[in-house]
Amino acid sequence: MEENRFYHSENLELKHIVELGAQTHIHATKVLRLKVGDQFALFNGDGFDYVARVIELSKHKTSVEIIDRYEVNHESPLKITLAQGLAAGDKMDWIIQKAVELGIQSIQPLLTERSIIKLDRERADKKLEHWRTVAISACEQTGRSIIPDILSPIHLVQWLSNQNQIANSLKLILTPAKAQNLNHLKEALELGIIDLAGDLETVRSADLVVLALPVNASIKLLIQVLELIPTKAIVIDMGSTKKAICESVDTHPNRANFLATHPIAGTEFSGPSAAVKGLFKNKTNIICELDKTSKALSTKIIALFNKMGMRIRKMTAIDHDKHIAYVSHLSHISSFMLGKTVIDKEKNEIDIFDMAGSGFESTVRLAKSSPAMWTPIFEQNKENVIETLTEYIHNLNQFKTYMENDNFDAIFSEMKNTNHIKKILKGIA
SS3 for the chain, per residue?
Answer: CCCCEEECCCCCCCCCEEECCHHHHHHHHHHCCCCCCCEEEEECCCCEEEEEEEEEECCCCEEEEEEEEEECCCCCCCCCEEEEECCCCCHHHHHHHHHHHCCCCEEEEEECCCCCCCCCHHHHHHHHHHHHHHHHHHHHHHCCCCCCEECCCEEHHHHHHHHCCCCCCCCCCCCHHHCCHHHHHHHHHHHCCCCCCCCHHHHHHCCEEEECCCHHHHHHHHHHHHHHCCCCCEEEECCCCCHHHHHHCCCCCCHHHEEEEEECCCCCCCCHHHCCCCCCCCCEEEEECHHHCCHHHHHHHHHHHHHCCCEEEEECHHHHHHHHHHHHHHHHHHHHHHHHHHHHHCCCHHHHHHHCCHHHHHHCHHHHCCHHHHHHHHHHCHHHHHHHHHHHHHHHHHHHHHHHCCCHHHHHHHHHHHCCHHHHHHHHC
Distance, in Å, from the CA atom of 179 to the CA atom of 380, rounded to the nearest integer, reads: 24
Supply the pLDDT for residue 179.
44
Say which range, 106-110, 181-185, 219-223, 254-258, has the weakest mean pLDDT: 181-185
The fold for domain 176-318 equals: Rossmann fold (3.40.50)
What does the pLDDT look like over 2-29, one tens digit per residue? 578 899 989 999 999 999 989 889 888 8
Supply the pLDDT for residue 427.
58
Supply the pLDDT for residue 266.
81
Say which range, 236-250, 316-330, 346-360, 377-391, has the weakest mean pLDDT: 346-360
- pTM, full prediction: 0.57
**Residue 172 pLDDT greater than 80, yes or no:** no
Helix 371-380 vs helix 382-404: angle between axes, to the nearest 10 degrees? 100
Asked if 267 contacts 364 with a C-beta cutoff of 8 angstroms, the reply is no
Residue among 331, 301, 169 nearest 236 (CA): 301
Residues of each domain in the chain carrying CATH 1.10.3660.10: 321-428
Supply the pLDDT for residue 118.
74
Supply the pLDDT for residue 315.
95
**Residue 254 pLDDT greater than 90, yes or no:** yes
Residue among 63, 130, 62, 58 nearest 93 (CA): 130
The superfamily CATH assigns to domain 321-428 is: 6-phosphogluconate dehydrogenase C-terminal like domain (1.10.3660.10)
Average pLDDT, stretch 391-412? 95
Residues of each domain in the chain carrying CATH 3.40.50.720: 176-318
Supply the pLDDT for residue 385.
95
| Listed ranges 107-111, 187-191, 287-291; the one with the highest mean pLDDT | 287-291
Supply the pLDDT for residue 210.
94
CATH of 81-163, one of 3.30.930.10, 2.160.10.10, 3.40.1280.10, 1.10.3720.10: 3.40.1280.10
Residues of each domain in the chain carrying CATH 3.40.1280.10: 81-163
**Residue 363 pLDDT greater than 60, yes or no:** yes
What does the pLDDT look like over 256-302, one tens digit per residue? 999 999 999 888 787 888 888 899 999 999 999 999 999 999 999 99
Supply the pLDDT for residue 282.
92
What does pLDDT average to over the chain? 87
Supply the pLDDT for residue 354.
60
**Residue 222 pLDDT greater than 70, yes or no:** yes
Supply the pLDDT for residue 429.
47
The superfamily CATH assigns to domain 5-71 is: Hypothetical PUA domain-like; domain 1 (2.40.240.20)
Residues of each domain in the chain carrying CATH 2.40.240.20: 5-71
Helix 121-142 vs helix 91-101: angle between axes, to the nearest 10 degrees? 40
What does the pLDDT look like over 125-144, one tens digit per residue? 889 999 999 999 999 988 99
**Residue 150 pLDDT greater than 60, yes or no:** yes
The model's confidence at residue 182, banded by pLDDT at 50, 70 and 90, is: low
